[in-house]
Amino acid sequence: MSDVNTTLTRDEVAELYRRPLLDLVFEAARMHRANHDPHVVQCSTLLSIKTGACPEDCSYCSQSAHNNSDLDTEKLIELDAVVKAATEAKSGGADRFCMGAAWRQVKDNADFERVLEMVRTVKALDLETCATLGMITKDQAEKLRDAGLDYYNHNLDTSPEYYGEVITTRTYEDRLETLAVVRNSGMKVCCGGILGMGETEDDRIGLIQQLAMQDPPPESVPINTLIPVEGTPLADTPLLPWNQLVRAVAVCRILMPKSMVRLSAGRSGMTEEGQAMCFLAGANSIFLGDQLLTAPNRSKNSDVELFEMLDLEGINDAKTAEAIEV
Ligand code: SAM
Ligand code: DTB
Ligand code: SF4
């Protein structure tokens, strides 16, 4: 029997979200321990394979041609550069590699053939593979699947109501359609959003409702907090209070008990105690490495120290194993 609640109401999600914080975290931790090893946090590394000059107008994004960030643009990179980055990611302790391209949609051209080759090569390095390339067709999804792509990332970003305040060049419906294409191809779905874009608590609840209502729910749920980027319309957005992030992580864990809940962009702006609370509430994946797609990430060394402090496993390199033994 499916345990997916496709009739989940906004009020049901709100009831969870607004429980006393420590009761909510306690329930999420219980759910986490029933479904996952609570001592393991999976590590992924990101690589931007095509950077900037994106035709979409996502108001948070450094890569949109509509925004004025001072980012250097770059055409689709060569296969060699991907092999180098993936090899380094693996020896640096990641077991998952995610490639992102600043495209509105995938086109059937030589670039797509090169991306397929990238996927084959990264998969052959024995890394879990994920890509986020914008909208894709059924045929493209099947080609990516056949090349060895495990997950396709496509985020809903926020609630249906707030979405139009953030992006106007692609609709919520377009996103749901792309997600259906991915799901039907047999690849795993990676779908989450961004918190701290000036949305209300009700919008955060609405986003989680949309994620948890999918049947089946996404196997992977990235929870990003806004990285404010100079030159974007959201550059001066007030910081999300940490307890809101913890609540969102906990509700995702309770409503999508088997999914990977990824504490994604924005960790650089968080305290270590705040991150610890997110791991307790069920987050079980991070991005490891000094860079996300275009923005800086926490340093790997500080994450090694954090994992040691919290007795967490998941950074798989020899140096870390030694450090943990000491
Ligand atoms: N162009 C593709 C797309 O949007 O479908 C893929 C790349 S896009 C950069 C991947 C995701 O990164 C976005 O959906 C968004 O959720 C997240 N993201 C982008 N900029 C961000 C920022 N400044 N802060 C937090 N998350 C961000
Ligand atoms: C996701 O939800 N977060 C990652 C991944 N999917 C591709 C991307 C975060 C990007 C953060 C901003 C940047 O580096 O440009
Ligand atoms: Fe383009 Fe993706 Fe950035 Fe939107 S989030 S502007 S689609 S790269």
Distance 262 CA to ligand 2 centre (A): 11
Provide the pLDDT confidence category of residue 324 given band limits of 50, 70 and 90: very low
Ligand 3 centroid vs 60 CA: distance in angstroms?
9
pLDDT tens digit sequence for 134-182: 999 999 999 999 999 999 999 999 999 999 999 999 999 999 999 999 9
Q: What is the pLDDT of residues 22-57, one digit of tens each?
A: 999 999 999 999 999 999 999 999 999 999 989 999
Q: Kindly name the residue from 19, 43, 54, 183 that is annotated as catalytic.
A: 54
Ligand 1 center to 61 CA (angstroms): 6
- Report pTM: 0.93
pLDDT digits (tens, 9 = 90+) for 245-290: 999 999 999 999 999 999 999 999 999 999 999 999 999 999 999 9
As a whole number of angstroms, the distance between CA 81 and CA 244 comes to 38
* Nearest protein CA to atom 15 of ligand 2, as residue: 294
98 in catalytic set: yes
Mutate to test the pocket of ligand 1, among 58, 174, 182 (most ligand atoms within 8 A of CB): 58
The pair of three-digit structure tokens given for residue 194, joined into one six-digit string: 């961004």
Residue nearest to atom 8 of ligand 3 (CA): 102
Ligand 1 pocket, mutate which of 46, 47, 54, 60 (most atoms under 8 A from CB):
60
What CATH class has 10-325? alpha beta
